[in-house]
């Protein structure tokens, strides 16, 4: 039974973290819609939200690695959304 619980918990962790990554394009769009002077604060707030989410499932070290990856993906989303 405990193995089932562990598997279910791991699956929930994967779902939550994948949902956070899956929403990056919407987060990028929302941030880019803000006035320039508000964007840095919005990015910091998003990063803190992602950090708190990850810490619920991951160690501090794993969270920092995951967060670096998420913020890199967010930068890519910004680049893809900006007019060329």
Residue 4: per-residue pLDDT:
57
pLDDT in tens, 4-36: 544 445 667 788 888 888 899 999 999 999 999
Judge whether 24 and 43 are in contact, CB under 8 Å: no
Q: Which residue has the higher pLDDT, 82 or 68?
A: 68
pLDDT at 39 over 70: yes
- Average pLDDT of the chain? 86
- Other beta carbons within 10 Å of 81: 13
Residue 29: per-residue pLDDT:
94
The token pair that represents 24 in the structure block: 């990056």
User: Can you give the pTM of this predicted structure?
Assistant: 0.78
- Domain range for 77: 2-81
- How many folded domains does the chain comprise? 1
């Amino acid at each position: 039974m405990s193995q089932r619980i562990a598997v279910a918990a791991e699956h929930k962790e994967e779902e939550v973290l994948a949902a956070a990554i899956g929403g990056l394009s919407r987060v990028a769009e929302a941030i880019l819609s803000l006035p320039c002077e508000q964007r840095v604060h919005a990015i910091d707030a998003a990063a803190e939200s992602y950090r708190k989410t990850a810490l619920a499932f991951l160690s501090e070290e794993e969270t920092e690695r995951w967060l670096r990856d998420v913020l890199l993906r967010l930068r890519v989303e910004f680049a893809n959304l900006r007019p060329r």
